[in-house]
């Protein structure tokens, strides 16, 4: 595997960052996960736009233009002969001192890894997933805005640990007001009376690229889509439920906190959106 680090390619053994990089020391940086399908980088512009929005929010000056990063991302896929896979694009604050001050970091570092990923077993997509809600609360907007896709993912990691301890793959996180925010690494949707509902961004949901794609597909299909505050009660009494994410794609959920969702099988609207999503990935994206 060839890994892009600040304009050069390195093998896996030699691709390294300094122990003084603030991305390592303090989680000071931003990242994106991007999918490659059929020799095309899916939703590349949208991911790069979100990367720059995250960077702006933390006053991180990315040392490459949007066009240059897009070009480097495609080139890294090409260098690895990648036609189907996953890209991890990382921008750290760069090398600094042992103090917090980001002004001590002279130049941010850009890292692009293009490889493979399998987030969940294939059987889960077929039969559906069981998830739980966890005590770990989603970050407050006033503390660390969930819209920032930062390298400081400990909030999500703690919730993921709780899911692992419970023997499930994923968990729903609530915000401080008790409303549904998102899962540890995915957005969450429910279907009720033929309409699609998902938590608003203000509840602590990440501006998911796949989330937005699913909303657009649903609207094109004539479904009613809304973004109300949702509670656990709403999840329990949904007709269907599924989660979305770049790596996860669309995953049906059939049980939450021991409550069976709908008839306990992936729902028809979920399956329809899955088909339409995968059809889109075959024809859309930046060619490698």
- Known catalytic residues? 149
Burial bucket for residue 145 (CB in 10 Å: 0-12, 13-18, 19+) = middle
What DSSP string runs through the chain?
--EEETTEEE-TTT----TTBHHHHH--EEEEEEEEETTEETTHHHHHHHHHHHHHHTT---SS-HHHHHHHHHHHHHHTT-SSEEEEEEEE--B--SSS-GGG--S-EEEEEEE----S-HHHHHH-EEEEE-SSPPPPTTTS-TTS-BS--HHHHHHHHHHHHTT-SEEEEE-TTS-EEEESSSEEEEEETTEEE---GGGT----HHHHHHHHHHHHTT--EE-----HHHHHT-SEEEEEETTTEEEEEEEETTEEPTTSS--HHHHHHHHHHHHHHTT-SEE-
Taking a C-beta distance cutoff of 8 angstroms, is the pair 131, 248 a contact?
no
> CA 3, CA 110: separation in Å to the nearest integer?
11
Q: Partners of 182 in the beta sheet?
A: 173
């Amino acid at each position: 595997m060839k890994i892009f680090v600040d304009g050069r390619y390195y093998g896996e053994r030699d691709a390294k960052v300094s122990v003084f990089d603030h991305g390592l020391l303090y989680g000071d940086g931003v990242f994106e996960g991007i999918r490659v399908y059929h020799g095309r980088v899916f939703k590349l512009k949208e991911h790069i736009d979100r990367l720059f929005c995250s960077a702006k929010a933390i006053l991180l000056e990315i040392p490459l233009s949007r066009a240059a990063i897009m070009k480097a991302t495609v080139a890294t896929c090409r260098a690895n002969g990648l036609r189907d896979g996953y890209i991890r694009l990382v921008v750290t604050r760069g090398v600094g001192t042992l103090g917090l001050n980001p002004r001590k970091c002279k130049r941010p570092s850009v890292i692009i890894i293009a490889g493979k990923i399998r987030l969940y077993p294939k059987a889960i997509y077929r039969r559906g997933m069981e998830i739980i809600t966890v005590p770990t609360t989603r970050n407050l907007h006033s503390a660390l805005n969930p819209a920032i896709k930062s390298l400081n993912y400990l909030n999500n990691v703690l919730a993921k640990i709780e899911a692992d301890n419970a023997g499930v793959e994923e968990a729903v996180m609530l915000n401080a007001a008790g409303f549904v925010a998102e899962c540890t690494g995915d957005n969450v949707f429910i279907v009720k009376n033929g309409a699609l509902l998902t938590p608003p961004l203000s509840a602590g949901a990440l501006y998911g690229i796949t989330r937005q794609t699913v909303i657009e597909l649903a609207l094109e299909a004539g479904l009613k889509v809304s973004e109300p505050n949702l509670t656990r009660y709403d999840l329990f009494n949904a007709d269907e439920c599924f989660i979305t994410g770049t790596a996860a794609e669309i995953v049906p959920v059939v049980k939450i906190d021991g409550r069976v969702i709908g008839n306990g099988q992936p729902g028809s609207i979920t399956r329809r959106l899955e088909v339409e999503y995968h059809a889109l990935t075959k024809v859309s994206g930046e060619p490698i």
